[in-house]
Structure 1
Amino acid sequence: MGLSRIIAQTKHMKSIKLTALIFLLTTIGMSAQNTIIPLWPNRIPNQEASNEAEKIEYTEDGIIWITNVQEPTVEVFLPSKRMSNGKAVVIFPGGGYYGLAYDWEGTDIAKTLTAKGIAGIVVKYRLPWSKSIIKDKHLVPLQDAQRAMRLVRSKVKEWNLDENQIGIMGFSAGGHLASTLGTHYDEKVYPTQKGEDGISARPDFMALIYPVITLGEPSTHTGSRASLVGENPTQAELDYLSNEKQVDENTPPTFLLHAADDGAVPVENSLMFFSALKENKVPATMHVYPTGGHGFSLGLEHERLKNWINLFFDWMDNLD
């Protein structure tokens, strides 16, 4: 795709207004730094060489859309040392486990966090339908998620972070991955590569934004389920990744956000997870808006939704 065509596609007024507002939020009174780090220092686990190439495209709304992820990374956005409060959020963009809405539910969020002194780390994770994945395709996103948490914790001194205030945030299918990490953080799903792989992968808190939670009928998002476990999964595979069934008393405190009229990922996903958290006495906060649909990201164009990120900041400030 030619550069001129890309530029033309990105001149969608909705996207320009959003980008401009985020730019203002993240440049007033501070200077954020960002860098991209490969997730795996040695051989990428459960993957073989192939002729697949990573694709970066733009949707009609100007959103950066990444598919065929071959080299998973973390993109790290750090606030200035003067602004930093030591907190960090590892972010998993959504995309139905088929692609990643990389800026809309990733870097835009990270930049907004830095304006509050919070480090934002965006994970470009592998997608299970890729032909380069050798086996256990349903575990590949979790492998990358665990590794991302451990990598961030290994950098707390370098990045001026508090190792006990590192949480996660996921959107849609990225919310499923976040809740998978929050309920399967201590399972060994890849061979140890470096010393940091001995560090805990447990998040200190979770924010799940219009998340896929269950793989069971009738409330699952069928596209995410098909991408993750295929068209004919076993009941054991469905139960393992239906995360409302995996909550226990050690699941991290959770912030849930959903719109009641979400036509893609039914609000029952958040309701089921909230119920499981409550049953296990895990601190949880849930906000359900009557309207908003799906995929609204920061919700800046929705009169009601545009304040949700401030609700999240308040919630973070009051965590024990």
Structure 2
Amino acid sequence: MKRYFSLLFGLLLTTSHLMSQDLTLPLWTGAIPNAKKSNETEKVEKSGIAWVTQVQEPNIAVYLPTKQSATGRAVVICPGGGYAGLAYDWEGTDIAKWLNAKGIAGIVLKYRLPSDKTSEVRYKTPLMDAERALRLTRQHAKEWNLDPTKVGIMGFSAGGHLASTVGTHFDQNASPVKDAAGQLKSRPDFMILIYPVITMKKTLTHGGSRDNLLGPNPDEALVETYSNEMQVKDNTPPTFLLHSADDGAVPVENSLMMYQALKDKKVPVEMHLFPTGGHGFSLAIGKGHLQTWPEVLYAWLQSLDGE
């Protein structure tokens, strides 16, 4: 009997572990590309949410659904934070857990933030990390019970800008590291953009995101390059857009412009606008009609397979 309870306790511990985060993988082994040494160290502040700044060693936290409910789909999640920090749980791990409940793997990206202190070229850093996250996810597809043709990207606010940059610039950047993952494609199979920053044009962008990514006085050509409504091509992946009309931080016009650009190129796109909700609402739990948006997203994801 004593042996039975010992085995049962061990099984419960194992089960508890499996229901939490599965593993964390560094994005890069060896030298991190586009990085330079500085005196900065990563910081995590917890005042309601986990706010991560000064990321030095980017990684992915992998959350997998149970094998019995797994759909084979995976989403790389880019938390927002104005390119100044990462709302790591609010727009990252909380989202991964919701995805798991739908049989979808959630891959939370802790990406480096653009900084002259730690980057050779500041605006290249987040994009390098996001593209690497997609390649790594595909590299581990068999091990994680994923379909490598069903790996998408999701971003909130400035994370939405990063996600949309990946979805419009993927054919412009070879992997800086020529390892096994570096041979795989970085094009996402779909994009999910939640109250995203899209443009870097001064009148409609989020000023903090623009300044942090491009610097205070960027060249106009750089502004155009990172205004992703201008970079949509006919092979940009199918896209889901969500915004609230009263967003006081990132104007709703960001999503409207992206929708029009995608429509013009005949890229499949679905957009949902809520009259109220403001900015940074994550899953919108307790916010009335707004909290229905995750189920709307889930229905869209199912539609990608004609389900």
Q: Tell whether the structures are fold-level matches, with TM greater than 0.5.
A: yes
Q: Is the 8 A contact 2:175 2:183 kept in 1?
A: no
Residue 158 of structure 1 aligns to a residue whose secondary structure is coil
Deviation at residue 254 of structure 1 after TM alignment: 0.3
1:79 paired residue among 35, 40, 65: 65
Partner of 2:11: none
Structure 2 gap ranges (5+): 1-14
Partner of 1:5: none
Compare 104-113 and 194-203 and name the one that shifted more.
Answer: 194-203
1:286 paired residue among 267, 271, 274: 271
Partner of 1:198: 183
- 2:159 matched to 1:174? yes
- 2:34 matched to 1:46? yes
Residue 74 of structure 1 aligns to a residue whose secondary structure is strand
1:139 paired residue among 97, 121, 124: 124
Distance 1:80 1:33 in 2: 12
Q: Is the 8 A contact 1:90 1:149 kept in 2?
A: yes
Q: Tell me which amino acid in the other structure corresponds to 1:41.
A: T
- 2:217 matched to 1:217? no
Q: Is the 8 A contact 2:21 2:61 kept in 1?
A: no
- 2:51 matched to 1:65? yes
Deviations 1:216-268 (A, max 9, x none): 03110000000000000000000000000000100000000000000000000
Q: Tell me which amino acid in the other structure corresponds to 1:132.
A: T
Partner of 2:145: 160
Q: Tell me which amino acid in the other structure corresponds to 2:130.
A: A
Structure 1 or 2, whichever has the larger Rg, is 2
Partner of 1:11: none
Deviation at residue 105 of structure 1 after TM alignment: 0.2
Deviation at residue 193 of structure 1 after TM alignment: 3.6
Distance 1:185 1:71 in 2: 22
> 1:1-320 alignment to 2 at 5 Å?
31-59=19-47, 62-129=48-115, 131-134=117-120, 136-188=121-173, 190-320=175-305
Residue 119 of structure 2 aligns to a residue whose secondary structure is coil
Distance 1:112 1:211 in 2: 20
Deviation at residue 201 of structure 1 after TM alignment: 0.4
Residue 156 of structure 1 aligns to a residue whose secondary structure is coil
Q: Kindly report the root-mean-square deviation, in angstroms, between the aligned alpha carbons of the 2 structures.
A: 1.5
Structure 1 gap ranges (5+): 1-26
State the percentage of identical aligned residues.
Answer: 58
Deviation at residue 179 of structure 1 after TM alignment: 0.1
Q: Is the 8 A contact 1:256 1:287 kept in 2?
A: yes
Q: Tell me which amino acid in the other structure corresponds to 1:123.
A: L
Using structure 1 for the length normalisation, give the TM-score. Answer: 0.88
Deviation at residue 189 of structure 1 after TM alignment: 5.6
Q: Tell me which amino acid in the other structure corresponds to 2:163.
A: A
Q: Tell me which amino acid in the other structure corresponds to 2:51.
A: W
Residue 300 of structure 1 aligns to a residue whose secondary structure is coil
